[in-house]
C-alpha cells in the first residue's frame, strides 16, 4: 500500500494565480481532510470530505474549494493566491468518520511570490 500520496511535492506560484493540489487516500479509506500548516504553527483544518460529500469546513475564504472523486481521491483548489497562502498543505486519509486516526500524506509545499 502506497499510503497517502500528494502531488505535487513543491509548487511556486505568483499572487493572483490559481493552484490545484491532489491527494489520493489509503486504499479503502473513504474520507479525506485537507489542512494548511504555516511554518511554526499547527495544522489548520480546511475541509473534510466523506463519500464525495463535504462533511466539514474550517474558517477559510471562498477562494478555497475542494472536491472528492468516485475513487475517493481529492483536489484542493485555491484561487486568487495571496502571499499568505504560502504554507504546507496536508491531506489526511481516514477509514471512516472524523474520530478515527488520520493518516497524513507528505504534504505539498506551496510558495506564493
Partner 1 sequence: RKEVEQDPGPFNVPEGATVAFNCTYSNSASQSFFWYRQDCRKEPKLLMSVYSSGNEDGRFTAQLNRASQYISLLIRDSKLSDSATYLCVVTLNAGNNRKLIWGLGTSLAVNP
Residues that bind partner 1 (CB under 8 A): 33, 35, 41-45, 48, 55-58, 90, 98-99, 101-107
Angstrom distances, CA of residue 70 to CA of 16, 21, 35, 64, 74: 30, 17, 21, 21, 9
| Residue 61 main-chain phi, psi, to 5 deg | -70, 170
* Least Å from the CB of residue 14 to partner 1: 24
Determine how many CB atoms are found less than 10 A away from the CB of residue 36.
22
* Least Å from the CB of residue 96 to partner 1: 13
* Least Å from the CB of residue 55 to partner 1: 6
Cβ proximity to partner 1, 25 vs 43, nearer residue: 43
Amino acid at each position: 500500500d502506497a499510503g497517502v500520496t500528494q502531488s505535487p511535492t513543491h509548487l511556486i506560484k505568483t499572487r493572483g494565480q490559481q493552484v490545484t493540489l491532489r491527494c489520493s487516500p489509503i486504499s479503502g479509506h473513504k474520507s479525506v481532510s485537507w489542512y494548511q500548516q504555516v511554518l511554526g504553527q499547527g495544522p489548520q483544518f480546511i475541509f473534510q470530505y466523506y463519500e464525495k460529500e463535504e462533511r466539514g469546513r474550517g474558517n477559510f475564504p471562498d477562494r478555497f474549494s475542494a472536491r472528492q472523486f468516485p475513487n475517493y481521491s481529492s483536489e484542493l483548489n485555491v484561487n486568487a493566491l495571496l502571499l499568505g497562502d504560502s504554507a504546507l498543505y496536508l491531506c489526511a486519509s481516514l477509514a471512516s468518520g472524523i474520530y478515527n486516526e488520520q493518516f497524513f500524506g507528505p504534504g505539498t509545499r506551496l510558495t506564493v511570490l
